[in-house]
Amino acid sequence: MICPVCETPVMAGFTYCEACGHALGSPACAWCGAPAVDQDGYCERCGLRQPTGRDHAELELDGGAAAVTDRGLRRARNEDAMALLAAGDAVVTVVCDGVGSSPRADEASAVAVETASAALARGLPQEEAFGLAARAVAKLATSVNDAPACTYVAAVVRPGRISLAWAGDTRAYWLPGGVLLTEDDAVETGEITAWLGADAVDVTLHVRAFAPREPGLLLVCSDGLWRYLDGYAFPRAGTPIEMSREMLRHALESGGHDNVTIALIPLTP
């Protein structure tokens, strides 16, 4: 074993490197992997300031359902937002992707996720939860020219059945096969035709119920992941959080051009 900072051999079980004083057993760096992140949040080996807050977040529920969100490599901030919570025998997840061309898109996705997930956890139907979220996002606008906006997908997963609702191009898949469960509101060139926001017109929420016959996982994700899914072999082993991280790594290694959000909820029929 060597000190990750000064590379002096260190004894297992030591708290500090005797040569340079580095605290051994520090958190691992998100970039170079060295266990060298200091209290200020910088890696003492490669220098990277560790992602904080919305830059990178992970959630895991008792039943194994998990979600990760990450800024990716090219965007200045993470405008995706996610919620994952247990409500009785149901697991609720909502994922929204801030529309890049709108102002304060990070606020839009955050308020949509918070409003809709709380409504669904209270047992409100999909349409009502969506309506509350849409109004909350619209209220962020000061005019139609200053209208924060985001996409929307919500899932309520109960034993044996899934309720899905979406608007825009945020998606749901059924794993392990990778069957797409949603249908994008988008034209062929990729521009979306439905979103939440004060400038949205004629948005109809898509709602779908799905009852899987085999055990599997519901994947809900933003386009920061699905743009890299062509020909991708989904992970087959590991817990949902481990699989989520592996999919995130795939998105980052493929270029990480957009924010990435992944929610995975295990389900038995």
User: Which of residues 1, 2, 19, 144 is near other proteins by CB under 8 A?
Assistant: 19
User: Which of residues 54, 71, 245, 250 is near other proteins by CB under 8 A?
Assistant: 71
- Nearest CB to other proteins, comparing residues 208 and 257: 257
Residue 91: CA count within 13 A, CB half-sphere: 26
User: Which of residues 47, 100, 190, 215 is near other proteins by CB under 8 A?
Assistant: 47
Q: At its nearest, how many Å lie between other proteins and the CB of residue 77?
A: 8
Angle in degrees, CA 211, 117, 141, rounded to 5: 130
Binding to other proteins by residue 76, rule CB under 8 A?
yes
Q: At its nearest, how many Å lie between other proteins and the CB of residue 45?
A: 5
Binding to other proteins by residue 1, rule CB under 8 A?
no
Q: Return d(Cα 61, Cα 35) in angstroms, integer.
A: 26
Q: At its nearest, how many Å lie between other proteins and the CB of residue 207?
A: 36
Q: Which residues fall within 8 angstroms of residue 206, CB to CB, at 6 or more apart?
A: 164, 165, 166, 167, 182, 183, 185
CA 210 to chain CA centroid, Å, is: 22
Binding to other proteins by residue 49, rule CB under 8 A?
yes
In the numeric block, the tokens 């059945």 are attached to 161
Segment 174-213, which members bind other proteins (CB under 8 A)? Answer: none
Q: Return d(Cα 227, Cα 245) in angstroms, integer.
A: 17
Contacts with other proteins, residue ranges (CB under 8 A):
5-8, 19-20, 31-32, 40, 42-49, 71-76, 256
